[in-house]
Chains A and B, each alone.
Chain A
Amino acid sequence: MAQDELSPSTGAQSGAAKSSDGYSGAISSSVSSGSAPMSGEIAIEIKNLVKRYRNLITREWVNAVNDISLDVHKGEIFGFLGPNGAGKTTTIKALLGLIFPDSGDVKVLGEAPNNNAIKAKISYLPESPYFYEHMTAREIINFYASLFGLDSRERAKRADYLIDLVGLASAGNKPLRAFSKGMLQRVGIAQSLINDPEVLFFDEPTSGLDPIAHRDIRDLILHLRTEGRTLFLSSHQLSDVELVCDRVSILYRGKIRKIGRVDELVVGGNVEILVKGFKTTPALAAEITGLGAKLEQSGPDTLIIGGSDNETKNALIDLVRRGEAQIIAVTPTRRTLEDIFIETIREGEVEAGEATKFAEASTTEALEVK
């Protein structure tokens, strides 16, 4: 991949809003909504991955990752979702060769991950990264660039370019100890792009950021997508994931509970029919509920919520006509990735025989994913 492809369209920078950390990069303005040039080649391959840890107190073995398999294609943005403790970071660490699978196999760009030739083509942004605080942003980029064996001229060139890309041009010579969390995250992104990577692993890239920094990083991800890079994205920001990812998987207790294209997963929403003066008879009401719909009365208005498929929708409208009501609005409501996420976790809880705990757990998880 040519280095030039990483170049942002810096001309649009002036219009970008500033984050509360005072920085906003070119990335926010250089995004097109075009989708990735995805190929059939596999960039990331996980086959029957199992990783176990021993509980230090109970001495029992716990499967952090329990026999998961998935492929991510080149040029694909893949969302790797799951509640805390689901096994997301463990999987990413196995993909980076930081931990070793108990069984199964992982490959990145067709090779085992602990291979320097492969490491030269990939990058990793951990959650809340920490860097040597005595260094400036420019120095830390230089430091990481040295690990790729780049010469000093190339390092300086890359540092200037990346610092500008992530919007830290005016803070490039300040020590990192003076940086806010949002600024450190920008440094983290910059270090992850030093080698012009083909495959990127981002673990919670927008965790704890203010809305502007959050938007900038989300835009950068979209920018990376237009360049045809492969991104393995772990995030709790489900609205972002829904916006940027081609496919997602939902992990729960070390198992993949759901995997598929985002647009396929969110299908099957409802339709809301708002009517006035509906003369409900017991027979009509029974027919409506018979179609799996429900009625909500609010003064003279009635709201009928039912399935969004054409057959159900038309049958409901026919029933409304029979009730001599006036249709005010027919609104399709789509499901969100958050609905799918909560639903999937709930199913997982039920399967694990912990349905009674769900009310509490799901609330916590729902709050976490907001």
Chain B
Amino acid sequence: MGTVFTLAQGTFGEAIRRKILNIFLVVALALIGLFFAFSSFSMREQMTITLSTGLGVITLAGVFIAVILGINLVPAEIEKRTIYTILSKPVRRHEFLLGKFLGGLLTVFVNIALMGIVFILGVWLKTHSMDSQVWQGVIMIFFQMMLLCSVALLFSVFVSPFVNFFLTFAVFLLGSMSSITESLAHQDGHKSQIACDFFWFVHFVIPNFGNFNITNPIIHPDVQVQNMGLYMGQTIIYGVIYSIIMLLIAILIFDRREV
């Protein structure tokens, strides 16, 4: 496990210094600040807009960070030939991949945590109270990005970063519209069975990113989750299991891949 942590540390140190990630961070922080400028709405409306937009911006910035990081974790090592000096040492390929993933995940965590802290502080300064959904939303975004990062890493072991960028984004968009693919999968008499089966397949295989998005209950206060703790727990476990499956597939492919 020491090898994995060493590689994760190296990856984190390298990734956190990537200028492109800082740009997203700065943009996100600036946007969050901007949303506190709303003042022409009622207090309740202001709060609703601030929460949903703030979490939305953190999600958007998180998606870019996770995707750009995830798609480059392995190809950058191959392109720069760092991988040769690492894999020629007593490092197993799965340790390398896990180290890269954990390093990337740590970078995503730090970025989201920074944005989340600024956002939570801003909300507290504005309302002098703390809605638990704010930090719950931030936590869920982190696990959503963990899942996205694992998808990007899986694709990165067999497609180019350029293709991977669009592929991972497509998976994220489809996965965020999980309720739509689920309804499309139901036979309503107008669709062929093949189309229904296709949507079932998409709904089943593509990870459900929509479940992590708890901004909807904020926008629609009438939609209430009965037990938020349970809901979050289940969704997080779902995300962790799905990420592990993605990593296992990535390891299987990477073990046979030539570098």
Contacts and interface: CB of A to CB of B under 8 A. Distances in A.
Contacts of B2: 146, 149
A98 B87 contact: yes
Nearest to B87: A98
A98 B81 contact: no
Interface in A61-102: 93, 96-100
A98 B258 contact: yes
A146 B14 contact: no
Nearest to A194: B89
Contacts of A201: 88
Contact of A134 (B17, B85, B86, B90): B17
B13 A144 contact: no
Interface of A: 93, 96-100, 116-117, 119-120, 122-135, 143-144, 146-149, 188, 191, 195, 201
Interface in B77-116: 80-82, 84-92
Contacts of A191: 85
B9 to A, nearest CB: 8
Given A98-B87, A98-B258, A99-B258, A134 B14 contact: yes
B183 interface: no
A120 B84 contact: no
A119 B85 contact: no
A96 B84 contact: yes
Given A128-B81, A129-B85, A119 B13 contact: no
Contacts of A127: 81
Contact of B88 (A122, A131, A143): A122
A147 B84 contact: no
Contact of A132 (B3, B82, B88, B256): B82
A134 B259 CA distance: 24
B14 A99 contact: no
Nearest to A201: B88
Contacts of B7: 147
15 contacts: A97-B87, A98-B259, A100-B256, A119-B90, A122-B88, A123-B88, A124-B88, A126-B81, A129-B85, A130-B80, A130-B81, A144-B89, A146-B6, A149-B3, A195-B89
